[in-house]
Amino acid sequence: MDKKFDRQVNRKGTASQKWEKYGDSDILPMWVADTDFMSPPSVIEALHERIDHGVFGYTNVPTELNQLVIERMQSLYQWQISSDDIVWLPGLVCGLNLACRAVGASGDTVISPKPVYPPFMSAPRLSDREVCTVPLKENNQHFTIDLDALEKSLTDRSRLLLFCNPHNPGGAVYRQEELEALASIIIQHDLYICSDEIHCDLILEAGLQHTPIASIGEEISRRTITLMAPSKTYNIAGLGCSFAIITDKQLRQQFINVRKGIVPDVNLLGYTAAIAAYKAGDEWNQQQLDYLRENRDYLQREINLIPGLKLLPIEATYLAWIDISGAKLTNPAHFFEQAGVGMSPGRDFGDANYMRLNFGCPRSTLEEAIRRIKAAIINELPA
Ligand X SMILES: Cc1ncc(COP(=O)(O)O)c(C=O)c1O
Measure the CA angle with vertex 197, ends 191 and 198; round to 5°. Answer: 140
Helices (H), the chain: 17-20, 41-53, 63-77, 92-102, 119-126, 147-153, 176-188, 218-221, 249-259, 268-280, 282-303, 332-338, 363-380
Q: What is the sign, positive or negative, of the torsion defined by CA atoms of 207, 210, 64, 276? A: negative
- The least CB distance from residue 165 to ligand X, in Å, is 9
- The least CB distance from residue 33 to ligand X, in Å, is 3
Q: Of 31 and 335, which has the nearer Cβ to ligand X?
A: 31
- The least CB distance from residue 90 to ligand X, in Å, is 8
Strands 319-323, 310-311: pairing is: antiparallel
Q: Of 168 and 335, which has the nearer Cβ to ligand X?
A: 168
Q: Of 122 and 184, which has the nearer Cβ to ligand X?
A: 122
Characterize 69-84 residue by residue with b for buried, 16 or more Cβ atoms within 10 angstroms of its Cβ, and e for exposed: bbebbeeebebebeee
Q: Of 96 and 220, which has the nearer Cβ to ligand X?
A: 96
- The least CB distance from residue 12 to ligand X, in Å, is 21
Give Cα 167 to chain centroid, integer Å: 7
The residue at minimum Cβ distance from ligand X is: 91
Q: Of 93 and 329, which has the nearer Cβ to ligand X?
A: 93
Q: Of 179 and 376, which has the nearer Cβ to ligand X?
A: 179
Q: Of 61 and 154, which has the nearer Cβ to ligand X?
A: 61
- 204 in Cβ contact with 289 (< 8 Å): yes
Pairwise CA distance, residues 184 & 6, whole Å? 45
Which amino acid, residue 228? M
Pairwise CA distance, residues 158 & 166, whole Å? 23
- The least CB distance from residue 322 to ligand X, in Å, is 17
- The least CB distance from residue 35 to ligand X, in Å, is 11
Instruction: List CB contacts of 304: < 8 A, sequence separation 6 or more.
Output: 310, 311
Strands 158-164, 109-114: pairing is: parallel
Give Cα 224 to chain centroid, integer Å: 18
- The least CB distance from residue 50 to ligand X, in Å, is 21
Contacts with ligand X by CB under 6 A lie at 33, 91-93, 117, 164, 168, 196, 198, 229, 231, 237, 242
